[in-house]
Amino acid sequence: MLRSLYSGVSGLKSLQTDLDVVANNIANVNTVGYKASRVIFQDLISQTVSNATAPTTTSGGINSEQVGLGTKVGSIDTITTNGSPESTNSSLDFYINGNGYFAVQEGSGTSAKTYYTRVGAFERDSDGNLVSTSDGLKVLGWSGTPTAYTGSNTVTTTGTPSTINVPDEVNGNEYSAGSLAIDSNGLITATYGSQKYVLGKLAFATFTNPQGLQKVGDSDFEASANSGTATYSVAGDNGVGTLVSGELEMSNVDLSTEFTNMIIANRAYQANAKVITTSDDILQVLTNLKQS
């Protein structure tokens, strides 16, 4: 059977994956915190028709002769560049102006699962927990006994971060609705009665290879064998940016790039399909020779 036939088929399969990735990027152009993907192609093995020969005293060397056997998808990478901030005017919406991810937790105890996200849309749920508004996962950070805000408060940020609770009352004073706030350094405060209290500090995760994070839906990621484990720190440390209140990070999909990629993939798909039909025509000619 003709090698070109199988090469064309491999091209169709690979380009279909490319179109799938491009389509998903375009579908998520308005998805908050979404990170675009791209496809990297690799050639398949080549069949060696003749080996290379070294030069001699009387003649020059001869290169090897090889025929390629098609293409394959080498990798599907995540592009981790920051998306543009979009103003929301909500005091509990946050944009990370730099690197790092918010850490959120699903479940509790030994069954708890930690995910990472760039979506900083938070709220206080009915149990007082600080949660992500998009999926209800609990936001992680460091907290302790509420202390009166002085403007120079410090929060112990060592050890594994845990969920953050905004209690209904502190020292007999009830929580003042709508007073929950987080500053640019991740310091969490709320007002009880007439006194402002420090409740904790947000934790941010960084990774040796953030491109190795795996998408799990809802604009969340989980660590993989190639991303490395999460290193937790506070805003402004370890490469983590500061927080910008009242803004959310939009998708980093570039529509002009995606439409260009779609056109290229479409033309390449048509060309590979033409290779298959041309190979079929050649086989038909051979069949006709036998019949004649």
Q: What's the confidence (pLDDT) of residue 292? A: 56
Environment class of residue 75 by beta-carbon count within 10 Å: exposed (0-12), middle (13-18) or buried (19+)?
A: exposed
pTM of the model: 0.88
Banded pLDDT at 274 (limits 50, 70, 90)? very high
Q: What's the confidence (pLDDT) of residue 290? A: 66
Instruction: Please report, for residues 89, 159, 165, 284, the alpha-carbon distance to residue 235 in angstroms, rounded to integers and kept in the order given.
Output: 21, 16, 20, 68
Domain coordinates of the chain in residue numbers? 3-51+62-80+253-291, 85-247
The angle at the Cα of 87, spanning 102 to 38, to the nearest 5 degrees, equals 60
Q: Is the pLDDT of residue 147 over 90?
A: yes
Question: Residue 132: which residues within 8 A CB-CB, separation 6 or more?
Answer: 102, 104, 117, 119, 121, 122, 138, 139
Q: What's the confidence (pLDDT) of residue 288? A: 84
Q: Which tokens is 275 given? A: 């290779």
